[in-house]
Structure 1
Amino acid sequence: MAHDPATQAAKAKESNPWTRRAILGLVQVSRLLPYRLRVPVIGWLMAYGFGPIAGYGKRVRDNLDFVLPDLPEPEKRALCRAVPANTGRMVAEISSGQHFIDQVATIPMQGPGLAALDDAREAGRPIIVVSGHFGNFDAARCALAQRGHQIGALYRPVDDPTLDKLFHDVLTRIAAPVFPRGRKGLGNMVRFLRKGNAVAILLDQYVHGGAPLTFFGKTAPTSLSAAEMALKYDALLVPVYGIRRGTSFDIVAEAPIPHSDAMTMTQAINDSLEARVRANMDQWLWIHRRWKPEIQSSLAADNTSPNPAD
């Protein structure tokens, strides 16, 4: 969908050249192995090799300590390995092209939102699919494409040109088109949506100036863009998830988010994702800095400081 964990890995330490080489190496190594082996092998390498060196365990623990301080210590330790492992498995899967597509094509979609998605496609109504960095979200995008949806995705370009081309190509093979964030990419995405197509957006990243909504009971600045577009273009707004189940997935379309106002609708998206994460804690990207409490504290302090002009 909008972003993939490998892109997040690149963004996490984009200034460090060894990180770039390591990510490229993981992708290349994965392609040398049979598909049935590459997914668990790359998952293991991410959990026990790349992840610890990149400091992902500390990222996971910091987030867990912030929002779930009472989580038992053994569970936190286990998640410090399991979360990077899930990221590695996704890297291997989405980099596998037709192997991954063929696997997803055998999985029936399910959930209360499925009929609404099909009805909107048949009626030519715009569709906005929302999800998070959870399970394998590109399995959901792939499944929708296999079901006959023309589905685009918004993604954040990687600063390194080699990595950016790699991930652009990877995402495009799964389903096209993909739109880079930025004025031109957003404009192209909106035009695509208004033609009655579907777009996929991930909303679980910290957004400077985002709406002060909650996620796991803590303020998590969130973009309202998906809800705002749904209201503006009368688009169906549906959370869809690719939930890992061993070597396969449950691909679930939840009930559509009712149109009301952008804040209420976006909070419903956050709540939907939170429920999925709580049920499968190892499948969310606890690596990324969703809350950034130090930044929020600094902004709050700035806003409450006496104004010298008063």
Structure 2
Amino acid sequence: MSRLVIGLIWLLHWLPLVLLARVGSGFGRLLYWVVVPRRKVALTNLRLCFPELSEPERRALARRNFALIGRSMLERGLAWWASPERLRATVRIEGLAHLQRLRAEGRPVLLLAPHFLGLDMAGTRLTLEGDFVSVYSPQKDKVFDHWLHHGRSRFNDQLLLSRHDGVRATVKAMKSGRPFYYLPDLDYGRKESIFVPFFGVQAATITGLPRLARLAGAAVVPCITRILPGGQGYVLELGAPWADYPSDDVEADTLRMNAWLEGVVRTMPEQYYWVHRRFKTRPEGEPRIY
């Protein structure tokens, strides 16, 4: 079955992006009705994070979210098989000068890349600009694992570490000149996490961003991917390095990350990864949410 799915994604990647986007959106709208557990997770997250919206408004937002999830799944074929020229035309990078300047100065770089739905496409597009390091979690399905790994490593000399490789390998890679494409905004459990608010809800949040930035002496560069409407492609926004980061207060630094992310999510709430159980880990004594 997985080979049939991969074959379908390969066939679809030949379509013009405007048509591929329509097919992907339709696929995502189907997923909204079929994948009931993830729909429930998304609606729970939206209820917690957007209490000011009515229930019909949250359901409409969830449907838009699933439509974009469908797009991101099918358009992943571009990351796996499209030519460098097509990828450059599909994903426009804004603010690349920030990254180029830091690399020219020999400064380690930590790219803060939260879980927006264009994440994988942007990651592959970035690899056309040089050698990076990222964390890769092997998939249970070996066929999907092969192509996901291929998509992240097909250009230049990419270093994909597992979570078991530890902090030392990541810091060494950054100090050697590889920017780290870092995704620290999921619920990874209690280990190495603290509770800080996200949309007003206490969320278990790993403290890796300030700790890695301190250990590597790295500049933190915001890295946001926006999916454009109507099959117009993607925009990868690289912001200016954060000033006065990290501080000597890990909790304040972690809270700053969540507050910044919340602000960006509010600019495009339909594009965040709401199907993840972000509030699964609860403070002692609090009931389960999902």
TM-score by length of 2: 0.83
Q: How many residues align?
A: 274
Taking only the aligned residue pairs, the percentage that are identical comes to 25
For structure 1, list consecutive stretches of 5 or more residues without a partner in the other structure: 1-20, 303-310
Matches within 5 A, 1:132-171: 132-146=114-128, 148-171=129-152
> Residues 233-248 of structure 1 correspond to what in structure 2 (within 5 A)?
233-246=216-229, 247=231, 248=233
Distance in 1 (alpha carbons) for counterparts of 2:156 and 2:15: 20
Is the partner of 1:220 in helix, strand or coil?
Answer: strand
Residues 189, 43 of structure 1: alpha-carbon distance in 2 compared, 3 angstrom cutoff: farther
8 Å CA contact 1:60–1:79 kept in 2: the answer is: no
Deviations 1:22-41 (A, max 9, x none): x6654431221233233431
Say whether residues 1:122 and 2:108 are aligned partners. Answer: no
Q: 2:184 maps to which residue?
A: 203
Distance 1:174 1:139, change over 3 A: farther
Does 2:287 correspond to 1:287?
A: no
Partner SS state of residue 296, structure 1: coil
Distance 1:41 1:187, change over 3 A: farther
> In structure 1, what is the equivalent of residue 93 of structure 2?
109
CA distance in 1, matches of 2:3, 2:70: 12
Range moving further from structure 2, 124-133 or 248-257: 248-257
Q: Secondary structure at the match of 2:165?
A: helix
Map of 2:160 onto structure 1:
179
CA RMSD of aligned residues (A): 2.6
> Counterparts in 2 of 1:227-306, with a 5 A limit?
227-246=210-229, 247=231, 248-258=233-243, 259=245, 260-261=247-248, 262-292=250-280, 295-296=281-282, 299-300=284-285
Cα separation, partners in 2 of 1:100 and 1:40, compared to 1, 3 Å: farther
AA paired with 1:296?
Answer: R
Decide whether the 8 Å contact of 1:31 with 1:38 is kept in 2.
no
- 2 CA distance for matches of 1:200 and 1:94? 18
* Letter matched to residue 239 of structure 1: P
SS for the counterpart of 2:154 is helix
Unaligned stretches of 5+ residues in structure 2: none
Once the two structures are TM-superposed, the CA of residue 290 in structure 1 deviates from its matched residue by: 0.7
**Distance (whole Å) between structure 1 residues aligned to residue 174 and residue 201 of structure 2:** 32
- Answer yes or no: is the 8 Å Cα contact 2:116–2:224 preserved in 1: yes
What residue is the counterpart of 1:35 in the other structure? 15
Aligned to 1:86: 68
